Structure 1
Amino acid sequence: MSVIIDRRNLGTRSSANQDRLQRRVRGRVKAAVEKLARRRSLGDMLDTEQPIAIPTKDLHEPSFRRDMRDAAWEQVLPGNKQFRRGDLISKPQGEEGGGDGGPGASEGLGDDEIAIVLSADEFLSVLFDGLELPNLRQTRTEDIQAEQWRRAGFVKEGSPSRMHIGRTMRTARARRMALRARKKHELEALLKQAETLEEEIRIRQGCGEDTSIERFRLAEIQNEIKGLERKIKAIPFIDESDLRFAHIDQQPRPVTSAVIFCVMDVSGSMGDLEKDLAKRFFLLLYLFIHRQYRAVEIVFIKHHGEASECTEQEFFGAKEGGGTLVSPALALVEDIMVQRFPPEHWNIYLAQASDGDNAQDDNRLVQERALELLPQLRNMFYLEVNQDQESALLRLYKGMSQEFPELMTARARHTEDIYPLFRALFSPRQGATHG
C-alpha cells in the first residue's frame, strides 16, 4: 500500500501533520465546549465571548529529533557573563519532578494552557456540531417574506471591486470581432487585387508592354491595404463600453418559520432544581431550532390544575399549589395553534417538562389530546425531571412513541444530564426514547 504525503506547502512540516493537528485542536475545543454546557448556565455563556482552554502540548506537531540521551555535546550561549567553556552547571534544587515549579492555577488557565476565544455564534456551532433536526419539512411560506441581497445580472457601471473580469473580456472580444470582420473582408479583397495586378505586370513586362497604369493602381491598393491594417490595429483591446459589473439587489425571499410551545408543570411538586433542568432543556431546544429556521416564535404555557399562556418570567418563576392536570395544557396548545399558528404555515414543535406527577384519571385525556396533536407537529419532546422511577405519564408517552416516532421522551435528574441527553435526542439515526 502506497502512502503519498504532500510536501508542496511552505515550511518544513508536512500537510498530513498539520491536518492531524487541526483535528486534535477541534476535538479539544469541542470537549471544552461540552464541559461548559454541562456545568454552566447557557444564558451566561452566550452573553459574552467564551475563552476555551487548550493544553499547549496539543499544539505541537510531531517531528523527528536527534536522541541526545546517549550523546555528548558542547554549547556556549551568547551574552553569558557567568559561565565559561568547561564549567559544570549544577541542577536546580527543587522538589521531586525537577524545578521549583510554581503555584497551580485553581481557576482559569494554567502555565501549560492557552485560551481560544469563541464568539457566541462559534460557540453554538461547536455546541450543536453533528446534530440534526428530525422530521424537518418545508411549509407554505407565502405570507412570510424577508429581504435578501442576491445577484441580479450585470450592469455597465459599478464599483471597480465588483467588476466581472470574465464577462468584461467576453464583451471586449465580441466587440473586436465585430469591428474587425468587415475590415478583414475588405483587406482580403484588396490583397487579391494586388496579387492579380502584380501577376499582370510581370506578364506585360515580359512582352515589353507599358505597365505604368498598372503600377499606379498597384500603389493605390497598397496604400489602402496599409490604411486598413492600421485601422485594425487601432481597435482597442478593452474599451470603456466593454466593462461589466456584477449587480446585486434586494429581493423578497420566502422564510420558513417555526413555533415552539414550551409547556411546564408549575405545581408544588416542581421545585427549583426541576425548573432549572427544564429551563436548560428549553433554552438548548430554542437555540438549536433557531439555527434551523429564520423566524422562530416561542409560546410559554404553565399548568397545574389549569393551564394558561404566560410570559417567560412567569413561566420560570411561577410556583403554584394544587394538583396537576396535563390535558388542559395540551388543549390550550391546540387552541392557540388553530387561532395563531396553522400547521400548513408553521413548523410546530412542542416541548413539555414535568416531574410526571399527573392525576391518574387525566392520563386517558392526555392520550386523546396527544393523538390529536401529533399529526400536526414536527416533533414533541417530553422531559421528565428528578424522578427516581418512571412515572405513569412517561410510560404512556413511551408507548405512544412506538407508533409516533416524532414523539421523543427523556429523563434527567442532574444538571450534567441535560446536554448529553440533548445530543442523544438530536444525533442522527438515534432512537426516539432515552431514559
Structure 2
Amino acid sequence: MSVIIDRRLNDRNKSAVNRERFIRRYKAQIQRAVSDMVAERSIRDMERGGEVKIPVRDISEPGFRNAPGGDREYVHPGNREFQQGDRIPRPDGGAGGGGSGSGEGDGDGEDGFAFTLSRDEFMQIFFDDLELPRLARTTLGEIRRQKMQRAGYTQTGSPTNLSVQRSLRNALGRRIALTGAARRRLAELDAQHAAQAPAPAPAPDDACTSDDADDARVPHPVDEADTAQAVDDGGAARALEARALERAALKRRIGAVPFLEEIDLRFRHRVAVPQPISQAVMFCLMDVSASMDERKKDLAKRFFILLYLFLTRKYEHVEVVFVRHTDDAEEVDEERFFHDRKTGGTVVLSALTLMHEIVTARYPGSAWNIYGAQASDGDAFGADPEKSRGFLEQHLLPLTRHFAYIEVPDPGARMSTLSAAYRRIECAHFAMREVVEHRDIYPVFRDLFSRQPAGAQP
C-alpha cells in the first residue's frame, strides 16, 4: 500500500501559485486600485488588507469570434416575414454572436472584478516602489530571535525526525562489533573444511580386463599400514563432526543478533539558537501646544502610522519612542501622545534635546538604526527656531538614518518661523514637507521615500 505525504507549504491553499501569478500579471491595475483605496479608508485600517476591484476590461483575454464575411444558413422559427430568396441585410457590428460590450441605450453593465488582498499582499503593493534612504538592514543589535538549527542526532525524538540512514548505519556497526569474532572463526572453519575434504573416488574404468576383475574379487591381506590408515580416518571423521557442531553454534550465535534495536535509532536534533536581528527605533516628536488642534494632531498621527508600517517592512524589530512637547518635553506612551489634553507654549528645542538624551542612553548607533519624525504647526518664537536648527544639524542628524519634518499649518498660512529655519539645513538625509489636508499625507510620504534611481545619491 502506497502512502503519500503532502509536505507542501501551501497545503491549505493549493492555488497560491496561481494567485501570485495573477497579482504579478495585473500589478499595475491593482496598484491603481490600492491608491484609490487609500483615500477611502483610514491609515490605521490599511494594515488589514481589504477588497479591491479592477475593471473587467483590464483582465479580458483574447478569444476566437466568427468573421463577418462568408455565407451563412439560418433557421428562423415562426417566420412570417421572409420568403425564399429574399436578401436579408447584414446586422451591424460585424462579428457573429453577441458580445459583452455595452452599446447605446439603457442596459446593465458589468461590475469590476473584485477580490480580497491579504495583509501581506496589501502592504507589499502599498510600499512596493518606496525605499528608506540610507537603509542599513545589516546592522545587528542585542535584540535576538530564536532560530531552529540542526544540532546533530539524539537517541530520542519524534518519529517524523527519525534518520533512517543514520539508524541503519548504527545497526550495521553494532552487528559487526557483536558478530565479528564469530564470523572470523566461521571463516577459519570453512577454510579448514575445504582443505581437508577427501578427494573424490576415481570412477570405475570400463576398459578393465577380465583378469583385473578377478584380481578385484581376490581379498588382499591387511597389513599394519592399512590399520594405521583406518585409525587416522576415524580421527579425521571425529574432527569433521566437531567442526560441524562448532560451525552450527557460530551460525546460531550470529543469527541471534537482531537486525535493528532501539539503541540503534537516531533522530535529527534541532535546538533554538539566538541570533541577532536588524533593528530600528523610530522617534515621534509632536508639538501639543495650544495651536495644535485635533485636525493637526490627526494629520501627524496618520503620517507617524505610515512611517511605522513602512519601517516594520524593512526591519525585523522596530521600537517606537513618543516624545511630546510644549514648553518642556516628556516621553509618553501612544495613548497619551495622541489623546492627552495637555497644552501650553512651544519650545521645540526641548523635544530635540530629550531625543538626544534617549538616543545616547538607550540606543547606541552601533546597534540601532535611528529614524526621527517631527510634526508641528511651526509656531515657534524667539531664538527657539534657530537654536533648534543648530541642535538638530549638529547633534541629531549625525546619529540618524533619516529625519523627516512634517509641518501641519492652517490652510492659507504663511511660512512659519520654524520652517524658515529648517530650510537652511543642508543634509542629505533630512527632509521637510507640508501637509494641509488628509489627501496630502500619502503623496508627501511617497515623495519622501520614493525609490532613488540606480547610482543616484540619497
Q: TM class, shorter-chain normalised?
A: 0.5 to 0.7
5 Å-filtered alignment, 1:15-414, equals 21-25=22-26, 28-46=29-47, 50-54=50-54, 66-69=64-67, 87=77, 97=103, 101-102=107-108, 111-118=111-118, 120-129=119-128, 131-133=130-132, 134-136=135-137, 138=139, 140-141=141-142, 151-179=150-178, 181-198=180-197, 201-202=198-199, 213-214=235-236, 217-218=239-240, 221=243, 236-249=258-271, 258-267=280-289, 269-292=291-314, 296-317=318-339, 324-338=346-360, 341=363, 343=365, 346-359=368-381, 361-370=383-392, 371-385=394-408, 393-394=418-419, 397=422, 399-402=424-427, 405-414=428-437
Looking at structure 2, the residues matched to 155 and 192 of structure 1 have their Cα atoms a distance apart, in angstroms, of 42
Give 1:203 deviation, angstroms.
Answer: 8.7
Q: CA deviation at 1:59?
A: 6.5
Query: Is the Cα contact below 8 Å between 2:34 and 2:126 reproduced in 1?
Result: yes
| Residues 1:216 and 1:397: Cα distance change in structure 2 (over 3 Å) | farther
Counterpart-to-counterpart distance in 1, 2:247 and 2:107: 91
Distance 2:193 2:396 in 1: 92
CA contact (8 A) 2:329 2:350 kept: yes
Task: Describe the shift of the 1:238–1:379 C-alpha distance in structure 2 as closer, same or farther (beyond 3 A).
Answer: farther
RMSD of aligned C-alpha atoms? Answer: 4.8
C-alpha distance in 2 between matches for 1:66 and 1:275: 58
Contact 2:53–2:112 (8 Å) recurs in 1: no
Letter in 2 for 1:366: S
Residue type of the partner of 1:240? E
Task: Tell me how far apart the structure 2 counterparts of residues 72 and 123 of structure 1 sit (CA, whole Å).
Answer: 53
Q: If the length of structure 2 is used for normalisation, what is the TM-score?
A: 0.65
Report the Cα distance in structure 1 between the residues aligned to 2:58 and 2:177, rounded to whole angstroms: 63
Post-superposition offset of 1:170: 4.0
User: In the TM superposition, what is the alpha-carbon distance from 1:368 to its structure 2 partner?
Assistant: 2.6
Gap change, CA 1:195 and 1:148, over 3 Å in 2: same
Q: Is the 8 A contact 1:406 1:432 kept in 2?
A: no
Contact persistence 2:277–2:317 (CA under 8 A): yes
Number of aligned residue pairs: 391
**Secondary structure of 2:67's match?**
coil
Cα distance, 1:32 vs. partner? 3.5
**Structure of larger gyration radius:** 2
TM-superposed CA distance for 1:296, in Å, is 4.0
Unaligned runs of 5+ in 2: 1-16, 80-90, 92-96, 204-225
Query: CA distance change for structure 1 residues 72 and 55 in 2, over 3 Å: closer, same or farther?
Result: farther
Q: CA deviation at 1:116?
A: 2.0
TM-score normalized by structure 1? 0.67
Q: Which amino acid aligns with 1:312?
A: E
Q: Is the 8 A contact 1:39 1:415 kept in 2?
A: no
The alpha-carbon deviation at position 277 of structure 1 amounts to 2.8
Query: 1:419 aligned to 2:442?
Result: yes
Q: Helix, strand or coil for the counterpart of 2:45?
A: helix
User: Residue 382 of structure 1: CA displacement?
Assistant: 1.9
Q: Which amino acid aligns with 1:97?
A: G
User: 1:373 Cα shift?
Assistant: 1.9
Aligned partner of residue 192 in structure 2, secondary structure:
helix
Task: Report the identity percentage.
Answer: 35
State the SS of the aligned residue for 2:199: helix
